[in-house]
């Protein structure tokens, strides 16, 4: 709905950095050429000549033996005769004809089932050439990994010699092969996209997805937004009409074309009157995460739900009638119905206390976590093969949904015990993940204050213009 690009001070890439290395090399070689010619031309004419030197030779640095710098007889231009100058200029223009020397480019888009040998053969290049190019140091073997949608650009001269080859891997990366005296040389040409911080905001009428679509956000970005706030807000159950969000995220551009989105830098989400704000911060180890303006992690130390379930088949209930025994037996966990073999994730970082078979629970995993918390995952069809004492990370698969033990259908029976007491996994207050390290706090505060101020400024500007 509302989207604006923040221009100016915060652009991370200057224009120059976008040029491929090749262009920079070329620019410098042209400059040398210009200076070489200037020495041969009357000084009064220098300025005029400068603009007449062809600045683009198709993005290619001529190899040493084909440089267009020889002007024939250097004494010719000693005369201050305009005709001689014209001739010298004409000579300078024609002495190097890249089309003749290097040939013309033929671009081939790689299709499914294509292989390098066949593509070379279609260009009338012999298997020897394929062999030479494929054996180019460092990059030759990449040609074995061509994929549909990428392209090969062949440059073949009058003699049928492959003088250059460009393997375009993506909009940003290509490998540039040049024929040398012995075989080929190759280099990687990488372009850095321009990153533009972009503001977007929206208000939810029916769903988060329709609101974020109106705001111009991609589905991926919407998923990321929901992921950041998903620890505090249940995007299935908690969302109400009138909830709103705003954010600044990165958009990546190359030569004015949008390549995709980068990271969300700062975002806030208002759910049922409560506003949550998250700032992205990368610490000195290079680890990135989202934090509240105070430096607390947006993540919790535990996943609320350790499985992608289809429905909750039985809630935590101390007075439940047991479905198998029909006697009053408390249900000390939550049952999440899910298809057999759905992965069961470790709710938090911890260690394996038990992974095996127990009466009633069937195949079951017990995990021990800090602060005397134990989580239990029962009725698994299969275990993930963890050993006792083994470390697990939050989100790691520990088992797969099943109906082993006393179960009437495939589901995960999940328990959350604190100091040995069963707590309701759906409502127990979950501890936050580790906050910003105290050593990082000063640096974080700077980033946090700046980003939140920017987000607020954008929002105010937007309100003022509406
Ligand atoms: Zn159960």
Per-residue pLDDT, 93: 57
- Which positions ≥6 away from 94 have C-beta within 8 Å? none
Question: How many whole angstroms from 175 Cα to the centroid of ligand 1?
Answer: 57
Same domain, 124 and 224: no
User: Which residues are 156's β-sheet partners?
Assistant: 104, 162
Same domain, 225 and 295: yes
Residue 441 lies in a domain: no
Residue 452 lies in a domain: yes
**Average pLDDT, integer, range 429-438:** 91
Residue 114 lies in a domain: yes
Same domain, 357 and 390: yes
Same domain, 221 and 235: yes
284 close to 440: Cβ distance less than 8 angstroms: yes
pLDDT, tens digit, for every residue of 57-107? 333 333 333 333 333 344 444 445 567 667 666 655 555 666 668 888 999
Question: How many whole angstroms from 198 Cα to the centroid of ligand 1?
Answer: 46
* Listed residues: CB within 5 A of ion ligand 1: 335, 413
pLDDT, tens digit, for every residue of 244-277? 999 999 999 998 899 999 999 999 999 999 999 9
Domain span at residue 286? Answer: 1-18+197-299+446-466
Per-residue pLDDT, 462: 75
Domain boundary among 40, 64, 97: 97
Give the CATH number of the domain where residue 392 resides. 2.70.70.10
Question: How many whole angstroms from 358 Cα to the centroid of ligand 1?
Answer: 14
Mean pLDDT of the residues in the chain? 82
Domain boundary among 97, 113, 142: 97
- Which positions ≥6 away from 131 have C-beta within 8 Å? none
Same domain, 115 and 125: yes
Question: How many whole angstroms from 415 Cα to the centroid of ligand 1?
Answer: 8
Could you tell me the sign of the dihedral formed by the alpha carbons of 144, 105, 129, 187, in that order? negative
Residue 304 lies in a domain: no
More confident site: 407 or 465: 407
Query: Whole-structure pTM over 0.85, yes or no?
Result: no
Domain boundary among 53, 80, 97: 97
Same domain, 242 and 286: yes
Residue 306 lies in a domain: no
Same domain, 283 and 212: yes
Question: How many whole angstroms from 388 Cα to the centroid of ligand 1?
Answer: 23
pLDDT, tens digit, for every residue of 126-170? 999 999 999 999 999 999 999 999 999 999 998 899 999 999 999
The total of structural domains in the chain comes to 4
Residue 429 lies in a domain: no
- What dihedral do alpha carbons 413, 419, 422, 424 form, nearest 10°? -90
Same domain, 183 and 120: yes
Question: How many whole angstroms from 351 Cα to the centroid of ligand 1?
Answer: 23
Kindly tell me if the per-residue pLDDT of 28 is higher than 80: no
E strand or H helix at 100? helix 98-102
Question: How many whole angstroms from 414 Cα to the centroid of ligand 1?
Answer: 7
pLDDT, tens digit, for every residue of 165-194? 999 999 899 999 999 988 999 999 999 999
Kindly tell me if the per-residue pLDDT of 242 is higher than 80: yes
Same domain, 328 and 391: yes
Residue 32 lies in a domain: yes
Give the CATH number of the domain where residue 284 resides. 3.10.450.350
Residue 273 lies in a domain: yes
Question: How many whole angstroms from 310 Cα to the centroid of ligand 1?
Answer: 15
**Average pLDDT, integer, range 191-214:** 94
Counting residues of the chain whose pLDDT is more than 90, the rounded percentage is: 65
Question: How many whole angstroms from 400 Cα to the centroid of ligand 1?
Answer: 15
444 close to 291: Cβ distance less than 8 angstroms: yes
Question: How many whole angstroms from 326 Cα to the centroid of ligand 1?
Answer: 14
Counting residues of the chain whose pLDDT is more than 70, the rounded percentage is: 78
């Amino acid at each position: 709905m509302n989207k604006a690009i923040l221009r100016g001070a915060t652009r991370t890439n200057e224009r120059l950095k976008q040029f491929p290395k090749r262009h920079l090399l070329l620019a410098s070689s042209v400059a040398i050429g210009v200076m070489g010619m200037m020495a041969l031309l009357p000084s009064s004419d220098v300025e005029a000549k400068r603009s007449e030197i062809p600045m683009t030779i198709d993005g290619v640095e001529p190899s040493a033996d084909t440089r267009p710098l020889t002007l024939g007889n250097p004494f010719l231009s000693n005369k201050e005769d305009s005709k001689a100058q014209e001739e010298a200029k004409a000579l300078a223009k024609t002495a190097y004809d890249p089309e003749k020397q290097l040939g013309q480019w033929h671009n081939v888009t790689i299709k499914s089932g294509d292989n390098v040998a066949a593509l070379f053969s279609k260009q009338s290049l012999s298997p020897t050439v394929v062999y030479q190019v494929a054996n180019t140091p460092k990059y030759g073997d990449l040609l074995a990994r061509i994929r549909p949608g990428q392209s090969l650009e062949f440059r073949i001269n009058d003699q049928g010699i492959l003088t250059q080859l460009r393997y375009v891997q993506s909009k940003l990366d290509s490998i540039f092969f040049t024929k040398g005296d012995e075989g080929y040389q190759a280099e990687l040409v990488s372009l850095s996209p321009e990153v533009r911080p972009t503001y977007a905001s929206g208000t939810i009428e029916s769903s988060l997805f329709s609101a974020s679509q109106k705001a111009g956000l991609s589905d991926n970005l919407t998923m990321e937004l929901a992921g950041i706030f998903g620890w505090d807000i249940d995007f299935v159950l908690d969302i109400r009409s009138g909830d709103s969000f705003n954010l600044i995220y990165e958009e990546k551009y190359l030569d004015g074309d949008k390549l995709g989105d980068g990271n969300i830098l700062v975002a806030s989400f208002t759910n049922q009157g409560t506003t949550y704000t998250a700032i992205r911060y990368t610490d000195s180890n290079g680890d990135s995460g989202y934090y509240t303006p105070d430096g607390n992690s947006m993540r919790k130390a535990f996943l609320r739900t350790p499985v992608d379930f289809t429905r909750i088949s039985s809630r935590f209930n101390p007075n439940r009638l047991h479905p198998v025994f029909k006697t009053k037996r408390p249900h000390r966990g939550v049952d999440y119905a899910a298809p057999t073999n759905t992965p069961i994730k470790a709710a938090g970082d911890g260690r394996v206390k038990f992974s095996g078979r127990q009466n009633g629970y069937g195949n079951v995993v017990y995990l021990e976590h800090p602060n005397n918390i134990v989580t239990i995952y029962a009725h698994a069809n299969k275990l993930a093969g963890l050993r006792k004492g083994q470390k697990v990370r939050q989100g790691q698969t520990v088992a797969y949904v099943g109906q082993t033990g006393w179960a009437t259908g495939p589901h995960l029976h999940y328990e959350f015990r604190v100091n040995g007491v069963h707590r309701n996994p759906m409502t127990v207050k979950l501890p936050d993940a580790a906050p910003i390290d105290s050593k990082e706090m000063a640096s974080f505060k700077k980033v946090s204050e700046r980003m939140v101020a920017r987000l607020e400024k954008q929002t105010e500007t937007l309100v003022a213009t509406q």
